[in-house]
Amino acid sequence: MGKENPNPNWEGLKKVGKTALIAVAIGFIGLALL
């Protein structure tokens, strides 16, 4: 993958996706501990 994505929104999208993933994981852990 030598081609760099020129779309600046992609970085923000990845960051939001990662944050959402972490939030979901924390929610699952919280439910499991209840």
What pLDDT is stored for residue 22 in this prediction?
96
What pLDDT is stored for residue 4 in this prediction?
67
Output the DSSP codes for 1-34.
--PPP--THHHHHHHHHHHHHHHHHHHHHHHHH-
pLDDT digits (tens, 9 = 90+) for 2-29: 566 667 777 888 899 999 999 999 999 9
d(CA 5, CA 19): 21
pLDDT at 32 over 90: yes
The answer to pTM > 0.75 is no
What pLDDT is stored for residue 21 in this prediction?
95
What pLDDT is stored for residue 13 in this prediction?
85
d(CA 23, CA 16): 10
